[in-house]
Structure 1
Amino acid sequence: MHIRLAGLQDLPALIAIDSVARQDPQRAEQIADWLGRYRCLVAEVQGNAAAYAVMHRHFFGCAFIEMLMVGENHRRAGLGAALLACIQVDCRGQKLFTSTNRSNEPMRRLLERQGFVENGVVENLDQRDPERVYFWISE
């Protein structure tokens, strides 16, 4: 596995591994926007994009992981944890937030293993599936 900064040249590969982009053309536009505006990391396996993460600093002035997506063929292989760890190193000494749906048990377990703690709930984003906000700060 190799983790590097993503750029606009990675757009087709990120769209290909994004499970939402296959059904929602607006997601492809969103990924392009992220690549142009925010810090995006891509995890490659054997030279191919397998996962990506997007972080910005527009959450009340704090760092926020907007997206962590692991391609279906690479899930539960440590890519998500590796991307989170890279972001955590970048944010050492700072507040770092992210969120996920209550129903996303794998992501919730991953966040807890990486030292994130649940920090609040946002209702009404997705019907009957509240968004759980998580917080991390290095010691």
Structure 2
Amino acid sequence: MNIRLAGLQDLPALIAIDSVVHQDPLRAEQIADWLGQYACLVAEVRGSVAAYAVIHQHFFGCAFIEMLMVSQDHRRSGLGAALLARIQADYAGQKLFTSTNRSNDPMRRLLEHRGFVESGVVEHLDEGDPEQVYFWRCD
């Protein structure tokens, strides 16, 4: 596995592994925007992009992991944990936030395993499935 900064050349690979693109065609534009505006990391397996993460600093001036996506074929193989570990190392000593739907048990377990704690809830984004906010800080 290799983790590196993503570039615009990675756009087709990110679109290919993103599970939301098939239901929402605007997601491809969103991924392109992320690549142009924010820090994006990719995890490669045998030279192919298998996961990505998007980080920005627009959450009350703090770092926020906007997206962590692992391709269907590579889920539960450690790529998500590796990306989180890299982000945590890059943002050591800073406040770091992320969120996920309360129903997303695998992501919630991963975040808790990496030392994130629940920080709050946002209602009404996805009706009936609140967004759970998580916080991590390495002192």
> Same fold by TM-score, threshold 0.5 exceeded?
yes
TM-score by length of 1: 0.99
**Can you give the 5+ residue segments of structure 2 that lack an aligned partner in the other structure?**
none
Structure 2: how far apart are the matches of 1:85 and 1:39?
15
Aligned to 1:92: 92
Asked whether the equivalents of residues 16 and 22 of structure 1 are also in contact (C-alpha less than 8 Å), the reply is no
State yes or no: 1:111 paired with 2:111: yes
1:15–1:22 CA contact under 8 A, matched in 2: no
Percent identity between the aligned chains? 78
- 1:101·1:131 contact (CA, 8 Å) conserved in 2? yes
Unaligned residue ranges in structure 1 (runs of 5+):
none
* Whole-Å separation in 2 of the counterparts to 1:22 and 1:2: 27
CA distance in 2, matches of 1:23, 1:71: 15
SS at 1:36's partner residue?
Answer: helix
What code does the residue aligned with 1:123 have?
E
Task: Give the corresponding residue for 1:126.
Answer: 126
For residue 77 of structure 2, what is the aligned residue in structure 1? 77
C-alpha distance after superposition, 1:9-40 (max 9, x if no partner): 00000000000012211000000000000000
Cα RMSD over matched residues?
0.4
Partner of 1:45: 45
Q: Which runs of 4+ in 1 moved over 4 A?
A: none
What code does the residue aligned with 1:60 have? F
How far residue 63 of structure 1 moved from its aligned partner, in angstroms, is: 0.1
- Superimposed CA distance per residue, residues 62-84 of structure 1 (whole angstroms, 9 cap, x where no aligned partner): 00000000000000000000000
What are the superposed Cα offsets for residues 46-93 of structure 1, whole Å, 9 maximum, x if unpaired? 000000000000000000000000000000000000000111011100
For residues 10-49 of structure 1, the aligned pairs below 5 Å read: 10-49=10-49
Instruction: Please give the alpha-carbon distance, in whole angstroms, between the structure 2 residues aligned to 1:25 and 1:84.
Output: 27
Quote the Cα distance in structure 1 between the aligned partners of 2:99 and 2:64: 9
